[in-house]
C-alpha cells in the first residue's frame, strides 16, 4: 500500500565504482498542512485518516497527541488500532514486497479480519481477535519449513542481484546463522520499540528510521545478509504484534521467536516549548511525528508539520542513506568503457544489476510511496 508522492533515484557509475547517488523526493505535505490549519484541531484530526490511507489511525493519534486532545480513557483503544493498522501494512509488505509464499485465501482472510476490526469498537474487536486472529495467522504463517524455505529462496535471489559489488574486504564474514540472525532481529526490535530508554524523550533530529535504515547504517554484514535479515525482521514484527493482540489464553498458539518486548510506548507526546508540542506514534515503518505550534495567545494554530519515516529517510537530500550505502561501492569484473560498442552488453548487464541492487536497498528502507531507479555512466 502506497501514498501520494514520488521518489526518483539516479545512480551514476564510472569504470568499476558507484560515484554518485542522488534522489528527487516529492510529497505534498505542505498542502496537507495547509488543509489542517483551515479546520478546528479536533476536526483536522478526523480528516487525517482520509488523507493518509496507509497509516490513518497513526496520523490521527499523532495529531491528537500534538494538540493535547487524546483522552486518556481512549489510550487502550488507540493502542489496539495502531497495532492492527501496523499488522495490516506488514502483511501487505510481506506478500507484495518480500514475496512470502502464502495462499491468496489465507492472505485475504487475515487482511479482511484486520480491516473489520479497525472499524469496530475495542470490545467487539477483541472478541473477533480472540476468535480468529491466532488461527488466521497460523494459516498465513504455514509452518517453520515454509518460513525457512522463503528465507533461503530470498537469499538466492538477492545474492544473484548483489554479486555485482565487490565485498572482498568483508571476506572474513560468512553467512549468518539462524541464531545469529534472530539475535540481531531482537536488537532491531528493541531499537525500534524501546526508543525511550531511561524515560528519555525521543531525539527530534533523527538521521534514519526503521529496520532497513538501522541495519545498513550500523551493522557489518554482507549486503545480501542485511536484506534477508530485514525481511526476517518484518516477519518477526508481525508475529510480535499478533502475540500482543491475542488474549493471554491464546498466546501459546502464536509462533513467537523470543521477541518479548514492552509495547506500551507505541505513542507519546513531547512538549518542545510553551507553544509547540510533538505527537509521536510508532508505525510499521518507524516513528511518525506531528508537530503543532500555537500562536502565543494559543487562540489558533500557527503551524502543523508532519514528519513520517519516509520523510526522515528520503526527505533530506543532504543526508541520503542511499548515498551513504551505495556511493563508493566497487563493482566486480573488468573495467569497461561505456563508449566501446563491444562492451555494450556487459555495460547493460552491470546497469541492470545496479538497478536491482538499489531496488533491494530501497525495499529494505521501505518508503511508503512508489519509486523509480535510473542507472547511467557518469
CATH of 6-377, picked from 1.10.645, 1.10.10, 1.10.8, 3.40.50, is 1.10.645
Q: Which grid cell is 73?
A: 480513557
- Inter-residue contact 242 to 133 (CB < 8 Å): yes
For 75, 174, 286, the CA distances from 233, given in Å and listed in that order, are 27, 20, 13
For 158, 296, 360, 362, the CA distances from 350, given in Å and listed in that order, are 15, 58, 15, 18
Positive or negative, the CA dihedral 35, 37, 39, 42 is positive
Q: Answer yes or no: is pLDDT of 53 > 60.
A: yes
Residue whose cell numbers read 538499489 = 358
DSSP for 164-202? Answer: TB--GGGTT--PPPHHHHHHHHHHHHHHHH--SGGGPPP
pLDDT of residue 208: 61
d(CA 318, CA 324): 11
Could you tell me the residue ranges of all domains in the chain?
A: 6-377
When pLDDT is cut at 50, 70 and 90, the band that residue 124 belongs to is very high
d(CA 279, CA 176): 38
Query: Which is nearest to 206 in space by CA: 314, 358, 54, 79?
Result: 314
* Lowest pLDDT segment from 77-86, 114-123, 336-345, 364-373: 336-345
Query: Which is nearest to 4 in space by CA: 52, 61, 37?
Result: 52
Q: Which grid cell is 176?
A: 549468518
* Lowest pLDDT segment from 29-33, 213-217, 311-315, 334-338: 334-338
Q: Could you give the strand order of the β-sheet that contains 17-26, starting from the edge strand earlier in sequence?
A: 17-26, 6-14, 371-377
Amino acid at each position: 500500500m502506497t501514498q501520494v508522492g514520488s521518489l526518483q533515484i539516479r545512480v551514476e557509475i564510472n569504470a568499476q565504482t558507484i560515484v554518485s547517488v542522488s534522489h528527487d523526493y516529492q510529497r505534498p505535505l505542505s498542502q496537507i498542512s495547509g488543509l489542517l490549519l483551515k479546520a478546528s484541531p479536533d476536526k483536522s484530526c478526523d480528516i487525517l485518516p482520509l488523507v493518509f490511507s496507509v497509516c490513518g489511525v497513526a496520523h490521527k493519534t499523532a495529531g491528537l497527541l500534538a494538540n493535547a486532545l487524546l483522552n486518556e480513557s481512549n489510550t487502550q483503544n488507540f493502542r489496539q488500532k495502531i497495532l492492527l493498522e501496523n499488522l495490516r501494512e506488514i502483511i501487505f509488505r510481506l506478500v507484495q514486497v518480500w514475496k512470502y509464499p502464502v495462499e491468496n485465501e489465507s492472505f485475504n482472510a487475515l487482511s479482511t479480519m484486520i480491516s473489520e476490526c479497525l472499524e469496530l469498537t475495542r470490545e467487539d474487536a477483541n472478541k473477533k481477535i480472540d476468535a480468529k486472529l491466532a488461527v488466521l495467522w497460523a494459516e498465513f504463517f504455514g509452518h517453520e519449513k515454509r518460513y525457512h524455505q522463503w528465507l533461503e529462496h530470498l537469499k538466492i535471489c538477492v545474492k544473484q542481484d548483489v554479486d555485482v559489488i565487490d565485498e572482498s574486504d568483508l571476506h572474513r564474514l560468512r553467512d549468518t546463522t539462524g541464531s545469529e540472525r534472530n539475535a540481531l532481529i531482537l536488537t532491531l526490535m528493541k531499537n525500534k520499540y524501546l526508543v525511550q530508554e531511561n524515560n528519555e524523550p525521543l531525539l527530534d533530529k533523527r538521521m534514519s528510521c526503521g529496520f532497513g535504515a538501522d541495519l545498513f547504517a550500523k551493522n557489518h554484514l554482507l549486503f545480501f545478509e542485511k536484506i534477508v535479515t530485514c525481511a526476517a525482521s518484518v516477519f518477526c514484527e508481525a508475529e510480535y504484534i499478533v502475540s500482543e493482540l491475542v488474549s493471554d489464553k491464546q498466546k501459546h498458539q502464536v509462533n513467537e521467536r523470543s521477541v518479548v518486548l514492552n509495547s506500551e510506548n507505541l505513542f507519546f507526546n513531547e512538549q518542545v516549548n510553551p507553544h509547540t508540542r510533538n505527537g509521536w506514534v510508532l508505525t510499521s515503518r518507524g516513528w511518525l511525528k506531528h508537530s503543532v505550534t500555537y500562536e502565543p495567545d494559543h487562540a489558533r494554530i500557527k503551524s502543523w508539520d508532519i514528519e513520517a519515516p519516509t520523510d526522515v529517510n528520503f526527505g533530506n537530500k543532504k543526508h541520503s542513506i542511499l548515498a551513504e550505502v551505495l556511493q563508493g561501492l566497487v563493482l566486480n569484473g573488468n573495467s569497461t568503457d561505456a563508449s566501446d560498442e563491444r562492451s555494450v552488453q556487459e555495460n547493460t548487464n552491470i546497469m541492470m544489476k545496479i538497478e536491482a541492487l538499489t531496488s533491494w536497498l530501497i525495499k529494505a528502507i521501505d518508503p511508503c510511496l512508489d519509486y523509480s531507479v535510473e542507472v547511467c555512466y557518469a
